[in-house]
Amino acid sequence: MISTTEWFVTIGFLGALILFDLSIAIIRRNKPTGFGEALTWTLIYVGAAIGFGIALPHWTNAATGKEYFAGWLTEYALSVDNIFVFIILLANLKIKKETQQLVLLLGILLTIAMRGLLIPIGATLVSRFNNVFYLFGAFLIFTAWKLINEKEEVEYEEGKVVSALKKRGFSTFAIALIALGITNLVFSLDSIPAIFGLTKSAYVVTTANIFALMGLRQLYFLLEGLLSRLIYLSRGLSFILAFIGVKMILEALHGNGVHVPEVSLEVSLGVIVLTLVVTAVASLAATRNGGPGGKAQLS
């Protein structure tokens, strides 16, 4: 059980990280982000996330640490998938490179605020109603089935939103911010049930989500050129979501007294890591030497 003091200390630390990132984005708002800078900050944020996960068992327990890493990896992978949509959106709106990082950070702050509202709701449902796992599990399996065509559908819906906002005189910056907010809300509805399939701890869900989102701005610039090669990312994420969905349904059945196999946290973590590695390696191998598949993903 996480104490109130531990909650306050953690939120204070994460809040300081967010303010620090916001300050850098504002200071460098008129400067493009280079590859070296993006790589450095991405490694810093990933290192901070891993360091937090290693330290977590010191004030909780070993199982919580495993839950955190499984949740963070899943949320980080889903956040990388968000970048596909970000690239398409900002390119279509012709947002200048110098302005993109501030738009991205403000969009990420909106996401954190949205998830800050959704996480307590999800935690309450999970703690009080075991049968909600049937609903979450079915939703994740359905989402997995849809995920391959998800970006095209989101892009189409956002195209209508952008056109409507332009007619009402909104600036390009405001339109980009609103569109990113809508995108992040759509993705949040997928990711929150997914992580509750790995842990019931609101503390783990909150920290894993924030660490997955922090540094996403720098990751955007780092992977902007590489993402066109990750052609199997959606398939890998589809498998992960379907796997977690099945796991949630099995947990719900087990909670209702049905004797079914239980999927341990170690197995879940192994499946997530293996799927991400296989997806990345297969994608890079398939698009080696400028293969045709690399261009299709962002077309």
* Segment of 6-15, 224-233, 262-271 carrying the highest mean pLDDT: 6-15
Give SS3 for 1.
coil
Q: Buried (b) or exposed (e) across 243-269, using 16+ Cβ within 10 A? A: bbbbbbbbbbbbeeeeeeeebebeebb
At 107 the pLDDT is 75
CB 34, CB 98: distance < 8 Å: no
The distance from CA 272 to its chain's CA centroid, rounded to whole angstroms, is: 14
> For residue 18, is pLDDT > 60?
yes
At 50 the pLDDT is 93
Q: List C-alpha distances in Å: 78 to 39, 64, 92, 108, 286.
A: 19, 21, 22, 14, 21
> For residue 299, is pLDDT > 60?
no
The distance from CA 127 to its chain's CA centroid, rounded to whole angstroms, is: 23
- Confidence class of residue 154 from pLDDT cuts 50, 70 and 90? low
At 297 the pLDDT is 41
| Non-local CB neighbours of 14 within 8 Å, separated by 6+ positions | 207, 210, 211, 214
d(CA 38, CA 50): 18
Domain that holds residue 173: 4-296
Q: Can you state the angle between helices 202-213 and 35-55, rounded to 10 degrees?
A: 160
At 291 the pLDDT is 58
> For residue 156, is pLDDT > 60?
no
At 260 the pLDDT is 80
- Confidence class of residue 28 from pLDDT cuts 50, 70 and 90? confident
- Confidence class of residue 157 from pLDDT cuts 50, 70 and 90? low
Top pLDDT among 158 and 22 is at 22
120: tokens are: 């307590």
Closest listed residue to residue 189, CA positions, set 143, 156, 157:
143
d(CA 274, CA 269): 9
If one counts the domains in the chain, the total is 1
55: tokens are: 């330290």
260: tokens are: 């079914």
pLDDT tens digits, one per residue of 48-73: 999 999 999 888 888 888 899 988 98
CB 79, CB 213: distance < 8 Å: yes
Number of CB atoms found within 10 A of residue 14's CB? 18
The tally of CA atoms less than 13 A away on the side-chain side of residue 19 is 6
> For residue 94, is pLDDT > 80?
no
pLDDT tens digits, one per residue of 223-256: 766 666 777 877 888 888 888 888 888 888 877 7
Dihedral over Cα of 65, 67, 70, 73: its sign: negative
Residue that is written with structure tokens 């170690």 in the block:
266
For the chain, the average pLDDT equals 78
At 143 the pLDDT is 76
Give SS3 for 215.
coil
